[in-house]
Amino acid sequence: MADKVIYAMYDDDDVLKDGAKSLVSKGVKVSEVFSPFPIHGIDPIIGVKNTRLGIMAFIYGLTGLTLATVGMQYFMIIDWPMNIGGKPNFTYLENILAFIPITFEFTVLCAAHGMAITYLLRNKTLPGMPADNPDPRTTDDKFVMELRTSENANFSADELTKMVKDTGIVEIDEKVI
C-alpha cells in the first residue's frame, strides 16, 4: 500500500514541540522531526528513546584499559624487563605508577574513538552518504515534523492533515512513497 507522508513545517521549535504534544495526545504517531539544532524535550514527546552510546563508550574505555594493561605488562615485565637506574621491572604492580599515564591516555583514546565511530555508523552519517532531510531549510531555520499514514492507521490522511494544520504550521507538504 502506498504510504503517504505528511511533512509539516514550523518556523519555531517551541510551536513544533507543542504541536507534537497535542498531536500525540490525540493518538497520532509522529515518525520523525527534522531540525537545525537539538530541540530540548522533544524526544520523550515523540517517543525517541535515549541513546545507549554512553554505555558503548564505557565498554570501549574498558577495552582500552585492558589493552594498555596487558600490553605494558607484556612489553615491560614479561618480554624484556628493563633495569633503569637500578630500578628493575620485576612485577607489574611495583611499576604501576609509571604505567598510569599511558593507561589513562589509551583508555580515553579507545573510548572517544570507539564512541565516535559507533555514532557515525549508527547515524549512517559517513562521507558520501546522501542527505535525506525533506527540505533544505531544515538545516537553517525551519523545523519539519513527519507523519506517516502507515503508522497512523486510525486516521485518514485528510484527518491527519487537518489536525496538523491546527498546530501553527507554516507550510505543509505531502509525498507518496
**Closer residue to another protein in complex, CB, 33/160:** 33
- Taking CB under 8 A as the criterion, which residues in 116-175 touch another protein? 116, 119-120, 122-133, 136-141, 165-172
125-136 as b/e, with b when 16 or more CB fall inside 10 Å?
eeeeeeeeebee
Q: Does 88 bind another protein (CB under 8 A)?
A: no
**Closer residue to another protein in complex, CB, 1/60:** 60
List CB contacts of 155: < 8 A, sequence separation 6 or more. 28, 149, 163
- Give residue for cell 605508577: 97
- The amino acid occupying position 71 is G
**Binding test (CB under 8 A) with another protein, winner from 3, 26, 48, 150:** 48
Give the separation between CA 114 and CA 60, rounded to whole angstroms.
6
**Binding test (CB under 8 A) with another protein, winner from 34, 147, 149, 152:** 34
Pick the closest to residue 152 from 55, 31, 11 (CA basis): 31
**Binding test (CB under 8 A) with another protein, winner from 2, 38, 93, 176:** 38
Q: Does 1 bind another protein (CB under 8 A)?
A: no
The CB-of-149 to another protein minimum distance in angstroms stands at 19
The CB-of-56 to another protein minimum distance in angstroms stands at 9
**Closer residue to another protein in complex, CB, 4/142:** 142
The CB-of-106 to another protein minimum distance in angstroms stands at 7
DSSP assignment letter at 135: S
**Closer residue to another protein in complex, CB, 102/157:** 102
Q: How many CB atoms lie within 10 A of CB 147?
A: 24
Q: Does 65 bind another protein (CB under 8 A)?
A: no
104-116 as b/e, with b when 16 or more CB fall inside 10 Å?
eebbebbbeebbe
